[in-house]
Amino acid sequence: MTIRFDGKTAIVTGAGVGLGRCHALGLAARGANVVVNDLGTAPDGSGQSSQAALDVVNEIKAMGGRAIADATNIANVTHVNAMVARTINEFGGIDILVNNAGILRDKTFAKMPLHDFERVLDVHLMGTVNCTQAVWTHMRDQEYGRIVFTSSGSGLYGNFGQSNYGAAKASVVGLMNVLAQEGARSNIRVNILAPTAATRMTQSLLPEETLDLLQPETITPGLLALVCEDAPNKMILGAGAGCFAETRITETQGVALVGDDLTAEGVIAAMAQIRDPNGAEVIENAFAQTRKYARMAAAARGLDLPWDT
């Protein structure tokens, strides 16, 4: 199977440099029309320039592709709606959205000004929300859409000094879990790419020999797989150095406490069993978890539930 995007149009945010640039070039090389969105800021979100986006557009045109540059600030919903309208006017529709733009303002939590926390959330979370909502109705009406959110190991597992970034990157997981369900009936598939790459945002954090392995080009194949026609849905794809793995949120079998055991002391006493990973499972949705607990509690009490569990 050869993956192509002929006739498809993609918006890639933060596409002027690093991962976003590789994603935009990778989509264009396989036939997609690409909107290269980039505000042209420094890694901390300061400054502004349209040159990086224009350079990527020129690269795409040099390979025979179609692309336009866009300097929209994704944290501004009015500007995002204008970007989407311009894209539809230019290319006739939108099939793919890659939410990639981001900034870093690292400090320990005790030393972090709240405006730095809010600014990172504005870009990573609200920027993703703004862009996704702006294309959602269009994709729903055409009964086709492929959307990718960008998370990170900092959000999935934590990283010292990145409470704002980690919170933002974890929050898109919850957003994906809901939208993957809401979009499924309209053939909108929503996934997460969790990359670790050598970019402007990581070059000061990793040794040179590691950076050589973690080039953005080693991650873009995963992105292309997440936005193709046969893409999965509701997947967190870890990617780095040509390595790919799925991150899953699982729940242990757990315990049902009753009677005198249903106390804080009982929970502590059962902690080893609560945390036992044997038999851990992926929970389909929030109500499935509710049903699981009701079923366990009923069994522990010898009860029959009046509804199917």
User: Which tokens sit at 141?
Assistant: 């009406």
C-alpha angle 180-236-245 in degrees, rounded to nearest 5: 150
CA distance 217 to 201: 16
Exposure string over 184-214, b if 16+ CB within 10 A, otherwise e: eebebbbbbbbbbbbbebbeeeeeeeeeeeb
Identified catalytic residue from 144, 157, 165, 293: 165
User: Which tokens sit at 26?
Assistant: 């990778």
Nearest residue to 34 via CA among 21, 50, 51: 21
Dihedral class, residue 60 (left if φ above 0, else alpha if ψ from -120 to 50, else beta):
alpha
Which 3 state secondary structure label does DSSP give 152? coil
Q: Tell me, yes or no, if 157 is annotated catalytic.
A: no
The type of residue at 48 is: Q
CA distance 213 to 115: 34
CA distance 280 to 269: 20
Alpha helices in the chain (DSSP H): 18-29, 51-62, 77-91, 114-121, 127-142, 153-156, 163-184, 208-213, 220-226, 264-269, 271-274, 286-301
The type of residue at 37 is: N
User: Which tokens sit at 201?
Assistant: 């945002």
CA distance 276 to 254: 8
Question: Look-up: residue for tokens 């539809």?
Answer: 88
The catalytic site residues sit at 165
